[in-house]
Amino acid sequence: MVGTPRKRRVTITRPEPLTMANLGAGLFVPTEYRATIDDPGLPGVVDLEVRLHGNAYRVEELRLSMRPSHGAPVTSEALRQIPVADLLRSSAALAIPPWRPTSREYVSSPRELRSRAADDPEFLHAVAAAYRLAALVGTAPTIEVANKFNISRATAGRLIADVRAIGILGGAPLGRAGESDEDDE
């Protein structure tokens, strides 16, 4: 239709057989996927080959194809216009199956939450999994933990520190969210 703006279309394809990585607390993510993104704001159709490396997804291959409709050539300038990090974040969010930490309601007050968390390994693992999921897709982990458990950012930060202190989450890279990964090259 003329005058109707097109929206971004993202198609996720997973290889067969599908291999999933366990991030804990029942959270499983694909170790690899392919995303095809057709967005009128991009210079063409973008294909991303994405693989899980340690605690983060990485784009291993990027392909830009001309759109048949307007045939703009693939140039180095067109490649520089591709927001790779944004496309990786949005595709990862679609590639990962929906996850809910638990069916139990944990929140009554921040103080009670932290005291209950100290005695509830399942909850602490759920906090770690929510953190890892956010770091994996490139969103702010502390804010995601706060949103997932309906708590303040400060309480989420304290819970994350508690989870790190007992060793469920590894140490964060200096000045960045996430976990250090010694195996990462």
Give the pLDDT confidence score for residue 155 in this predicted structure: 86
Average of per-residue pLDDT values in the chain? 82
- Helix axis angle, 110-118 to 153-165, nearest 10°: 10
| pTM, entire model | 0.73
| Alpha carbons 55 and 170: distance in angstroms, whole number | 10
Place of tokens 């703006």: 5
Give the pLDDT confidence score for residue 31 in this predicted structure: 95
Greater model confidence, 38 or 106: 38
Greater model confidence, 66 or 103: 66
pLDDT band with cut points at 50, 70 and 90 for residue 148: confident
Q: Give one DSSP letter per residue of 119-160, joined into a string.
A: T-HHHHHHHHHHHHHHHHHTS-HHHHHHHHHT--HHHHHHHH
Q: What's the mean pLDDT in 125-141? A: 87
Greater model confidence, 101 or 169: 169
Give the pLDDT confidence score for residue 103 in this predicted structure: 40
Give the pLDDT confidence score for residue 40 in this predicted structure: 87
Per-residue pLDDT tens over the stretch 26-76: 788 999 999 999 998 888 899 999 999 887 899 999 999 987 777 678 889
Q: Residue 23 — φ and ψ, nearest 5°?
A: -95, 5
Domain boundaries, the chain: 9-95, 101-185
Give the pLDDT confidence score for residue 184 in this predicted structure: 41
Give the pLDDT confidence score for residue 175 in this predicted structure: 60
